Amino acid sequence: MLSPVLYWKKVFREEEFRLPNDMMKERRPKFRMIRRNIYPTKRRIRRLPKDEIPNCECPRPRGKEPACGEDCMNRMMRLTCDPFTCPSGESCSNKAFQLLERPNIRPVYIGNGKGWGVVACEHIKKGTFTAEYVGEIIGVDECERRLWECKYRGETNYYMMELSSDTIIDARDKGGVARLINSSCDPNCEALMWQDAATNETRIGIFAIRDIELGEELAYDYGFQDFGVNQSFRCRCDAADCRKWLDAKPERLKRRGERVTVERDGKFVRATITAYEPATKSYQVTYKDSVVESIPSPELATSFKKVCKSKRKLARK
């Protein structure tokens, strides 16, 4: 069977693009589709006083040329302009997410262990806003309660994204199309935090970091956080440089091939780091005699400290 991208490019031209029926036969995940973040009843997003709204200093353009481009002060600080107070007026292109034009994207069943995903139904240019990651805005205590609830139910999918140290977006039961965008180690999109100048609300937008072709799946690097669930998740992006695990930190993977000194049978010997296993949070090291051993990260760090102490003692002598 051809991959979805190859199949669509082979059968359809852009002007008559539609998704094959076999890609739509699977039932969509059960969640309520929403357009904006939902806040607790006690908190409401209110418009700031006019004198507290940060405005840019972009000049109003002549004719129909768009204003507030790359050199816009607000844009550079990831602040969307207020449509009512921006000096550029209707010509402002640095609009709040809900006012931006969005490309034609659609959720489809990808398969291959990925489940559902989102594909482009038109060519998308680099830098284009594709979707907003929306859901329920919750605090740390509610986040912990929901995680325990998921664990009790045996659910392994989480849709939480951190807004701040004490605020999380949870799109599990209520979310938008961005909820279905998969992770990739070679992404074509990125998730960025922006501030609404009119309300000071923090929002997360998914932006294209390169041109995206018709029928291509949208993906961004989750930069995964486990929120204390102590569970690792395998990455299925199949990229050439795939990290294999969503929570595999790049700085740990970069240690492959590093020569280290570790404690073995009461002696300090040289070994080479050959892999990092996020599931067990341990390094795989290979000794000179080709013996392979997995050493938990804390133990490896302890070995380094012991070696340093031994060297200091020898230096004193």
Instruction: Give me the tens of pLDDT residue by residue for the chain, a chain 317 residues long.
Output: 334 443 334 334 444 445 454 445 556 778 999 999 999 866 778 899 999 999 999 988 887 888 999 899 999 999 999 999 999 988 999 999 989 999 999 999 987 777 899 999 999 999 999 999 999 999 888 988 988 888 788 877 778 888 887 888 999 999 999 999 998 888 999 999 999 999 999 999 999 999 999 999 999 988 754 444 445 567 888 888 787 776 655 555 556 677 777 777 877 778 888 776 665 667 788 888 888 888 776 555 544 444 444 434 434 44
Mark whether 88 and 216 lie in a shared domain: yes
Q: Which of 220, 242, 271 is the last residue of a domain?
A: 220
Indicate whether 125 and 176 sit together in one domain. Answer: yes
Report which of 179, 135, 152, 122 is spatially closest to residue 39, judged by C-alpha positions: 135
Has residue 90 been placed in a domain? yes
Residue 244 lies in a domain: no
Q: Is residue 231 part of a domain?
A: no
- DSSP state letters, 217-285: BPEE------TT-----B-----TT--SBTT--HHHHTTTT-EEEEEETTEEEEEEEEEEETTTTEEEE
- Assess whether 34 and 136 both reside in one domain: yes
Which range marks the domain in which residue 39 is found? 4-220
Same domain, 38 and 168: yes
In a domain, 44, yes or no: yes
| Residue (of 235, 140, 182) closest to 29 by Cα position | 182
Give residue for tokens 């038109």.
Answer: 122
Confidence at residue 193, expressed as pLDDT on a 0 to 100 scale: 92
Q: What is the CATH number of the domain that holds 168?
A: 2.170.270.10
Q: Residues 285, 216: one domain?
A: no
Q: What predicted TM-score, i.e. pTM, was given to this entire model?
A: 0.70
- Residue 297's pLDDT is 67
Number of domains in the chain: 2
Q: Say yes or no: 212 and 95 in one domain.
A: yes
